[in-house]
């Protein structure tokens, strides 16, 4: 499992009521969505024990559920967790 803290600049559009984080394992192809509400920070939890890259982007929405374009995409890599993590040592995937 990887825990990815995210922070972004607020939208300058006065009709913005919230933000959505989109993420997936292929660039530009998002299969998971997290509603961050009306805040500019959230934590994405990826419960995937495979070695893979994840791609994320944020978009704003208004009261009518109309979405803005996505921000620039960011990516991170989740490595397979070594057996020593089962002993209570820090999860190295959480550092990405």
Give 30-65 pLDDT, tens digit per residue. Answer: 999 999 999 999 988 887 656 788 899 999 999 999
Cβ atoms of residues 24 and 54 within 8 Å: yes
Beta bridge partners of 54: 76
- Give the number of domains in the chain: 1
Determine the average pLDDT of the residues in 5-22: 94
* pLDDT for residue 5: 87
Q: Which domain covers residue 83, as residue numbers? A: 2-95
Confidence category of residue 83, pLDDT binned at 50, 70, 90: very low
Q: pTM of the entire structure?
A: 0.77
Q: What is the CATH number of the domain that holds 66?
A: 2.60.40.10
């Amino acid at each position: 499992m990887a825990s990815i803290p995210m922070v972004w600049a607020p939208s300058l559009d006065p009709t913005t009521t919230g933000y959505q984080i989109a993420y997936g394992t292929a660039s530009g192809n998002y299969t998971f969505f997290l509603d961050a509400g009306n805040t500019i920070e959230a934590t994405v939890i990826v419960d995937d024990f495979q070695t893979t890259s994840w791609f994320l982007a944020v978009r704003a929405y208004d009261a009518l559920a109309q979405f803005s374009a996505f921000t620039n995409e960011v990516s991170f890599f989740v490595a397979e967790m070594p057996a020593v993590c089962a002993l209570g040592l820090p999860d190295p995937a959480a550092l990405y």
